[in-house]
Amino acid sequence: MTTRLFRAAAVMVIALAALRAQTPIEPVAAIAEAFRSHAIVAVGNVEFRGNEQCQAFLRALVRDPRIPAVVNDIVVEFGSARYQDVIDRFVRGEEVPPEALRRVWQDTTQVEYEWDRPIYEEFFRTVRTVNVSLPRSRQLRVLLGDPPIDWDQVHTIDDLHKGMGDRDAHAVEVIRREVLSKNRRALVIYGSQHLVRRNTVAGAADEWSNGIVARLEKQKAATAFSVLPETRRDLRSILPAVASWQTPTLAILRGTPLGATIWDPNPQRRPVRLEEQFDALLYLGPPESMTMSQLAKSLCADRSYMAMRTKRLDLVPPPSGVSSLSAQLKESCANPNGPKEIPDSDPAITNLIRKTLRDAAQGIVSADDIEPSSRERVTSMLQRDGPRFLGPAGPLTSLTLLADTMTDGKRVRRYRSLFGSGLSILWTVELTAAGKLVALSPRPE
């Protein structure tokens, strides 16, 4: 009870400061202040195709002298615990061969190539640079939170699942062992879904989620101050004043219009307010201002790297009608600026997709447009994700055709959709020969 009171008091102090100023809070100062009363401050990492604004903020956060003054450790998702000794030596300033260093982020349990983007190596190099100016006793330690998988033993999807284990449980154990038991403080950087507190599954017996923050607090190991960076939803549609906010900036959620919004507005989910999931929101700019980090051309040209990553990507079968992950990697390397538009020989189908997306933004689905055996699945997806992501994205401003093929007797089309907020989504659409929808698979561009 005492710990909860301290946490509530700390949040209230920061919130009152924001109310007095009548403006959002300068984020580094707020995070540094949160460390005065919390051993753990968790900041979400935006992993949608290497969001550069989020990683730029995280690097600036680490470089600010107020942070090393109150932080001992940085726990990251984008590094394999198998190479903890490697990153320890590297951030201390020791010489580490490049081929050894890159295994830190290339050999995690995740088959995707997200963490191969240069912004993640740059983060580790930022910590190394900061440590050069600090006495050894105050240098930041980076703790690699991903389980120590041995890829030489992974040949099937079952091997992968076994090597992966419970990723969040492993991260919690690292935090308990290396941070809390030693009376240290840690900045935790993980994808935001790992940091939510509440379970949104309708009728779930346990209101806690299975993420890192939820487990730490449920086990009474620590309370955390958690920060959500929101880059996909246009916050101006919820709070018009956001249009005048500088970037980056931080807003306390408790008792605010932003905090009252539903985290997962799906009628099949238990409604949970944003303020129940996180303590603060980090504003990095509207969706249209977001930029994405690209794989280095040298990696795309590296045959050994491409063979390694392709082999791992092919362990995960894609959904029906969607190109494999390895094909997406090759496409990304071939067209770093995205696929190009092709002539549309069947505009009636495009009009159907346009109508489907516009309706989905309002939670409306026309079952007659969907092939009967796919209706339940497609309807559920559109009703769940349409209002959450398409609704706040603004009007659909363009829908362009990128590919049109036949696969296993089905027509497969790929589209780029652009919304008023600037959000761009690639859709893989599978249809029957009669033009009924079988599947729609979105991917942020």
pLDDT of residue 6: 43
Residue 354 corresponds to which tokens in the numbers above? 């346009």
| Matching residue, tokens 């680490």 | 62
Query: Alpha-carbon distance 228 to 396, whole Å?
Result: 26
Q: What is the mean pLDDT of each run of 10 residues along the chain (445 residues)?
A: 44 42 79 97 90 97 97 98 98 97 98 96 98 96 98 96 97 98 98 95 90 97 96 84 93 91 77 95 90 93 97 86 80 80 92 94 91 91 85 87 85 89 83 91 77
Least Cα distance to 225 among 281, 284, 172, 171 occurs for 281
**pTM of this structure:** 0.81
Query: Alpha-carbon distance 260 to 436, whole Å?
Result: 38
pLDDT of residue 195: 97
pLDDT of residue 14: 45
CATH 3.40.50.2000 is right for the domain spanning 347-444: no
Residue 151 corresponds to which tokens in the numbers above? 């890829």
3-state secondary structure of 281: strand
Query: Alpha-carbon distance 352 to 320, whole Å?
Result: 20
Residue 327 corresponds to which tokens in the numbers above? 């094909």
Beta strand spans in 81-209 (E): 141-146, 186-191
Least Cα distance to 213 among 367, 424, 44, 425 occurs for 44
pLDDT of residue 319: 67
pLDDT of residue 185: 98
CB-based burial, 229-258: b 16+ in 10 Å, e otherwise = bbbbbbbbeeeeebeebeebbbbbbbebeb
Contact 321, 430 (CB under 8 A): yes
pLDDT of residue 108: 98
Least Cα distance to 380 among 261, 273, 267, 272 occurs for 267
pLDDT of residue 17: 43
| Matching residue, tokens 């394999």 | 80
Query: Alpha-carbon distance 10 to 368, whole Å?
Result: 53
pLDDT of residue 375: 92
Per residue in 371-385, pLDDT tens? 999 999 999 889 888
pLDDT of residue 10: 45
pLDDT of residue 390: 86
pLDDT of residue 234: 82
Domain ranges of the chain: 2-289, 297-334, 347-444
Query: Alpha-carbon distance 140 to 90, whole Å?
Result: 11
Q: Which CATH number fits domain 2-289: 3.90.550.10, 3.40.50.11550, 1.10.10.10, 3.40.30.10?
A: 3.40.50.11550
3-state secondary structure of 240: helix
pLDDT of residue 358: 94
Query: Alpha-carbon distance 94 to 300, whole Å?
Result: 29
Cα distances (Å, whole numbers) of residue 311 to 112, 176, 297: 11, 35, 19
User: Which residues lie below 8 Å from residue 287, measured CB to CB, with a gap of 6+?
Assistant: 231, 232, 233, 234, 393, 419, 421, 422, 423
Least Cα distance to 229 among 164, 163, 284, 294 occurs for 284
Query: Alpha-carbon distance 415 to 396, whole Å?
Result: 13
Per residue in 41-89, pLDDT tens? 999 999 877 899 999 999 999 999 999 999 999 999 999 999 999 999 9
pLDDT of residue 426: 86
pLDDT of residue 322: 62
Q: Helix count (H) and strand count (E) of the chain?
A: 17, 11
